[in-house]
Amino acid sequence: MSSLKASVVNPRLTGALRRSCYAIGLSLALSTLSTQAFAACQYTVTGQWSNGFTGSVKITNDTATATTGWSLSWQYTGDNRISGSYDVSMSGTNPYTAKNAGWNGTIQPNQSVTFGFQGSKGAAAAEVPVLTGTLCGNATSSAVSSSRSSVASSIAPSSISSSSIAPSSSSRSSLVSSSAPSSRSSMPSSSSVSSVDSGGWSLNSTDSYLNFVTTKNTHNVEAHNFTGLSGEINPAGIATLSIDLNSVNTGVALRDQRMRDLLFETITYPTATVTLAVPASVIGGLTVGQSSQNDITASLNLHGVTANVTTRVLVQKLSSTRVLVQSLAPVLTKADTYSLTNGVEALRAAVGIASINASVPVDFALVFDAR
C-alpha cells in the first residue's frame, strides 16, 4: 500500500468555528496552545447543531505511485451515529467502515479524494474519532475537525447570517482518542520546565487558527478570528503565542476597524501575548499518533493587563517533527478582566445596538513544527 498523508486545510481560507458556544459575547478571550493535523487521514466536522452533525474525510496521496482501493474504519465512544453518506461505500453501525466508491478508488500521486457523511448526536459537541486502517498510517492516527460556522450547539444553523461569519475562522469539536493519562501544566517556573526539544518548536501560522465569538442583542451570534499568529516553544519548554490584534477578521472591514480603534486600541496595544510552561513529558512522552489531554494555566497579556487563563487542551504528536495543541472546551474571558469594558460600550454606541455581551468563547488549534 502506498504511503498516504492527509493534506492540511488552511483554516484561514475555508474553516469557521462551530462548537458549543454559550450566549456570550464581545470582550476577547485568548488562550494558548489546535488546527488541521498532518495524519494519514483527515477527519473534519464540517457542521453541527443541537442534535446532528456533518463531516468529511480527506485522503491525499503524496507518493510517486498511484494507489488503488482504500478502506478505513472508526468508532464513536458516545452517541454520535452516521445516518447517511456520499462518495463512499459505508457499512457498519458503530464501528463504521468506509470503502472507496466505484469511481474514486484510484488516487493518483499528489491527488486527493474526499467523502462525506451526516449523522445524529446528543447535546455534546460532535466527536472526532480515531481513524484506523493501513491507509491511515498506524492504528492510532487521528485528525482534527474543522467546521464552517460558529454557533451554540443549541442554536439552529439558520440563526446566524452567513454574511456575518468571518471566512477565515475554523474550529474543532471535542476530540476522542486513545489518549495518554491527563496531565497538568502550570505557569513558567524552574521546577516545572525542562527541555522539550533540543531545537525547540516554531508555530506554523498557516495551519493554526484562533477564533472568537461575539453576541450582540442577546441572540445575534457571530464568529471572528485573527489571521496574524506567531509563536514558539523554546528549548527550555516555554511556549509563547503572539496575536496581532490588527489582524482581527470579522468579514466586515468597518467592523474590523472599529474593533482595532475602539476595543483593542491597537495604536497603544497592538499585540496580545500568551505564555505557558510546557513540561517535557507533555510532548516528549508521546509517540507519533498518540495524544494526551492536559489542564493548563497560561498567562495572557491583553490591553496592557496580564491575567491567568485556565483551560483543557489536547496535545497530539502528529509526526516526529509536528505537534498539535488544541482546545477541548471554549475558553471564556470577561471584558472587565482586561480593561475592555469601555471599549465594548464604545462599540455598542458606534453600532447603535441595544447590547454587546462582555464575555466571549475562544477556540484555537496550534500546530508547532520542530526546528
175, 367 Cβ separation under 8 angstroms: no
For residue 186, what pLDDT is reported?
A: 35
Among 295, 37, 253, 263, which residue's Cα sits nearest to residue 142?
37
164, 263 Cβ separation under 8 angstroms: no
Among 195, 211, 178, which residue's Cα sits nearest to residue 283?
195
Q: Averaged over 271-281, what is the pLDDT?
A: 87
What is the identity of the amino acid at 321?
Answer: T
Q: Averaged over 242-249, what is the pLDDT?
A: 95
Report pLDDT digits (tens) over 32-68: 222 233 336 788 887 778 788 888 888 877 677 888 8
Kindly state the cell numbers that stand for 257.
476597524
Mean pLDDT is highest, among 144-158, 165-179, 195-209, for 195-209
Characterize 307-325 residue by residue with b for buried, 16 or more Cβ atoms within 10 angstroms of its Cβ, and e for exposed: eebebebbbbbbbeebbbb
Q: What is the pLDDT confidence band of residue 31, given thresholds at 50, 70 and 90?
A: very low
> Which residues, including other chains, have CB under 8 Å from residue 227's CB and lie 6 or more apart?
12, 168, 244, 247, 249
pLDDT at 94 over 90: yes
Among 136, 164, 160, which residue's Cα sits nearest to residue 48?
160
In this structure, the strands spanning 238-244 and 322-327 are: unpaired
Report pLDDT digits (tens) over 332-368: 888 999 999 999 999 999 989 999 888 888 888 888 9
* Residue 97 burial class via C-beta count within 10 angstroms: exposed 0-12, middle 13-18, buried 19 and up: middle
Q: pLDDT averaged over the chain?
A: 73
159 half-sphere exposure, CB direction, 13 A CA radius: 18
Instruction: Count other Cβ atoms within 10 Å, centred on residue 227.
Output: 16
Quote the CA–CA distance of 171 and 73 in Å, as a whole number: 23
Quote the CA–CA distance of 261 and 346 in Å, as a whole number: 10
Kindly state the cell numbers that stand for 120.
445524529
pLDDT at 253 over 50: yes
Dihedral pair phi/psi, residue 348, rounded to 5°: -60, -45
Quote the CA–CA distance of 73 and 129 in Å, as a whole number: 10
For residue 137, what pLDDT is reported?
A: 61
> Which residues, including other chains, have CB under 8 Å from residue 302's CB and lie 6 or more apart?
28, 30, 269, 272, 338, 340
Kindly state the cell numbers that stand for 214.
461575539
For residue 91, what pLDDT is reported?
A: 92
Kindly state the cell numbers that stand for 78.
458516545
Report pLDDT digits (tens) over 285-316: 888 878 888 888 999 999 999 999 988 888 88
18, 47 Cβ separation under 8 angstroms: yes
Among 305, 250, 308, which residue's Cα sits nearest to residue 272?
305
Residue bearing the bigger pLDDT, 178 or 297 = 297
Quote the CA–CA distance of 113 and 87 in Å, as a whole number: 9
Report pLDDT digits (tens) over 183-234: 333 333 333 333 344 678 999 998 888 988 888 887 787 888 999 999 999 9
Quote the CA–CA distance of 121 and 18 in Å, as a whole number: 15
Q: Which DSSP letter does residue 264 get?
A: I
For residue 40, what pLDDT is reported?
A: 61
